[in-house]
Amino acid sequence: MTNWNELESKCKSCTACRLCEGRHNVVFGVGDRQARVMFIGEGPGEQEDLQGEPFVGRAGQLLDKMLYAVDLDRKKNVYIANIVKCRPPMNRDPQDDEQDSCIGYLREQTRLIRPKIIVTLGRIAGMKIIKPDLRITREHGEWIERKGTWMMPMLHPAALLRNQSQMEGAFRDFLLLRDKIKEVCPEVYEDIG
Ligand code: URA
Ligand code: SF4
């Protein structure tokens, strides 16, 4: 049983895969460690690597807006982390062996938080966490329940910036998320008053 401090310091000095070589910062995660809702992205980009926080670049600003639209806030009632904690060079996809080296940290984070709802962002995170044969364009917004935890794959905000025609569908997924929160953990909204 590790605790948060042990886990975070272990992660921040990790050299278990080649992604440690080019990093400026390990991007451990941000948010409420008691959050009922957890978001999982793929891996840090340039700004995330420089600032040490997930989703702080352009895609992150869009994510913040969509969170705000359903009364969520990265600092208050959600926790956000990535599959890999160090930036892949040139923002390439994290490779399978890199994901496998890193996933233990995410599993520990999830174990400590015990979220009621997990939302994956983008194809890579959806395939790793929800199902390996996920077809993200067709299956985003579909809930599955696993051992009492509700999971939904969402489109990646960076993909939305490239393809604005998907914006409406993505927004609909956030409304589905709001409905699910009201159903399974209404205290998230009661707490904000
Ligand atoms: N994309 C991700 O998947 N994660 C981040 O933290 C930033 C961009
Ligand atoms: Fe360690 Fe994960 Fe960074 Fe690889 S990506 S060095 S496993 S923290």
Query: Confidence band (pLDDT; 50, 70, 90) for 193?
Result: low
pLDDT at 39: 98
pLDDT of residue 107: 98
Kindly indicate the confidence band of residue 179, based on its pLDDT and cuts at 50, 70 and 90: very high
Q: So what's the pLDDT on residue 72?
A: 98
To test the pocket of ligand 2, the residue of 95, 98, 103, 108 to mutate (highest count of ligand atoms within 8 Å of its CB) is: 98
C-alpha dihedral (124, 122, 151, 4), degrees to nearest 10: 70
Proportion of the chain above pLDDT 90, given as a percent: 97
Q: What is the pLDDT of residue 44?
A: 98
Q: Helices marked H in the chain — which ranges?
A: 4-12, 46-51, 58-69, 96-113, 123-129, 136-139, 157-162, 167-184, 187-190
Average pLDDT score over residue span 32-40: 97
> Hey, what CATH topology would domain 20-182 get?
Uracil-DNA Glycosylase, subunit E (3.40.470)
Give pLDDT, residue 2: 80
d(CA 60, CA 67): 10
> 78-82 and 144-146 as β-strands: parallel, antiparallel, unpaired?
unpaired
Q: How far is CA 85 from the centre of its chain?
A: 11
Q: What is the mean pLDDT of residues 121-128?
A: 98
Q: What is the pLDDT of residues 45-103, one digit of tens each?
A: 999 999 999 999 999 999 999 999 999 999 999 999 999 999 999 999 999 999 999 99
Which residue's CA is minimally distant from atom 6 of ligand 1? 54
Write out the two tokens for 108: 């520990």
Pocket test for ligand 1, best of 39, 48, 161 (most atoms within 8 A of CB): 48
Mean pLDDT over 119-123 rounds to 98
Ligand with the closest atom to the CA of 19: 2
Q: Where are the domains of the chain?
A: 20-182
Average per-residue pLDDT in the chain? Answer: 97
Tell me if the pTM is above 0.95. yes
